[in-house]
Amino acid sequence: MKQEKSIHLDLGKNSYDIHIAQGEIDRLGERLETLAFKGQVAVVTNPKIDRLYGERVNKGLRKSGYRPIVIQIPAGERYKTLKQIGRIYDRLIEHRFERKDLLIALGGGVIGDMTGFAAATFLRGVPFVQCPTTVVAQVDASIGGKTGVDHPKGKNLIGAFHQPRFVSSDPAVLTTLQKREYRSGLAEVVKYGVISDERFFSYLEENSRDIRALDLDKVSKCIERSSEIKAQIVASDERESGLRKILNYGHTIGHAVETLTGYRNINHGEGVAMGMIAASRLAVELGLLRAQDVTRQVALLEAFGLPTRLPDLDPADILNVMAGDKKVMGGEIYFILPKKIGSVEVMKVDKKVLRRFLKALPKYV
């Protein structure tokens, strides 16, 4: 196993560690032993991840004396529903799970969000662990305790905050991702550079070719720095009442694009990439950002093979979906807008301004 990096997320009684190392996926049993955990364990995953990594995870758990049950749910954002949560409940009830028992989320952001939500709500709360297997999950979705499911009217509208006991991120598992899925996750990595760390953004620019080619040493550094930034932000604002909102950079329009395309044609990272560039162009229009800082983002995202232009959608439809977003307050739409690479601002944007801007976006194509 390569050298381990552990990041402590300080949330008082909800504190936990994020462990990052090649080979980490084999150590879940050891991690639970360290916590002196004695209960039942259920591994929630999807069929593909189970085929790839289920036996390794189960072997490690059995070695530590646990007898895991496996709960499979279908892969894909369109299955991130209450109906599938009900299937998880059914299996837990069948095996007589109690409040002292634990769930393990083995998979990407969808699995992590759903497992966390099931853990938050089953018996009014049972513990869970995150074992993320995608870039998006390792740098973002597994950290911070946001859990939930989608609704036909919008993404992640039903959910709860429920922190994991720990996060185990293994960069080596990313080698089995499809190229498109791997690339799409890099949008979230770019996000951290824009919202918080210009030096990290420059590192991504300088090493974009190796990162895209999945150089594990450089990818590990990306996961480590992204996780550090998210942990720092979450530690200061666990429930997203202030600073944590900046983590939604690119997501306001990105989620609308995902919703309007039925969670099928455009995946999460691609939507975020489009949303970041749209938000940056809006920031330029509002006089907050230099045009060259948009150009840098476009160049980096395209170097990672990500789209930077919105699909052909009706601006009125985009605005309508954004108006129903969970981040809307008092009927007002808020955007995370960059002021420069490494610094952003949460800002209310008038709907009339947004409507004009969305109609004008094709001029950038």
CATH number, domain with residue 111: 3.40.50.1970
Q: Which of 153, 176, 199 is the last residue of a domain?
A: 176
64 exposure class (CB count in 10 Å sphere: 0-12, 13-18, 19+)? middle
Co-location of 215 and 82 in the same domain: no
What does the pLDDT read at residue 241?
82
Co-location of 200 and 342 in the same domain: yes
Domain residues for 351?
183-364
3-state secondary structure of 88: helix
What does the pLDDT read at residue 331?
77
Question: Closest Cα partner for 20 from 33, 37, 6, 2?
Answer: 6
What does the pLDDT read at residue 328?
75
Tokens 């995202």: give the residue: 301
Q: How far apart are CA 143 and CA 226, in angstroms?
A: 10
pLDDT, tens digit, 9 for 90 and up, residues 82-130: 999 999 999 999 999 999 999 999 999 999 999 999 999 999 999 999 9
pLDDT, tens digit, 9 for 90 and up, residues 14-62: 999 999 999 999 999 999 999 999 999 999 999 999 999 999 999 999 9
CATH number for the domain spanning 268: value is 1.20.1090.10
Co-location of 40 and 9 in the same domain: yes
Co-location of 68 and 197 in the same domain: no
Q: Which of 113, 141, 176 is the last residue of a domain?
A: 176
Q: Give the pTM.
A: 0.92
Spatial contact of 238 and 15, defined as CB atoms under 8 Å apart: no
Co-location of 144 and 16 in the same domain: yes
What does the pLDDT read at residue 2?
62
Question: Structural domain tally of the chain?
Answer: 2
3-state secondary structure of 332: strand
Which of the residues in the chain have pLDDT under 50? 1, 365
3-state secondary structure of 352: helix
Co-location of 20 and 153 in the same domain: yes
Co-location of 331 and 211 in the same domain: yes
Co-location of 97 and 82 in the same domain: yes
Give the residue numbers marked as catalytic. Answer: 124, 146, 188, 230, 240, 244, 248, 251, 255, 268
Co-location of 187 and 172 in the same domain: no
Tokens 């998210």: give the residue: 230
Q: Which of 145, 176, 207 is the last residue of a domain?
A: 176
What does the pLDDT read at residue 67?
96
Co-location of 242 and 161 in the same domain: no
Q: How far apart are CA 271 and CA 25, in angstroms?
A: 29
Co-location of 323 and 228 in the same domain: yes
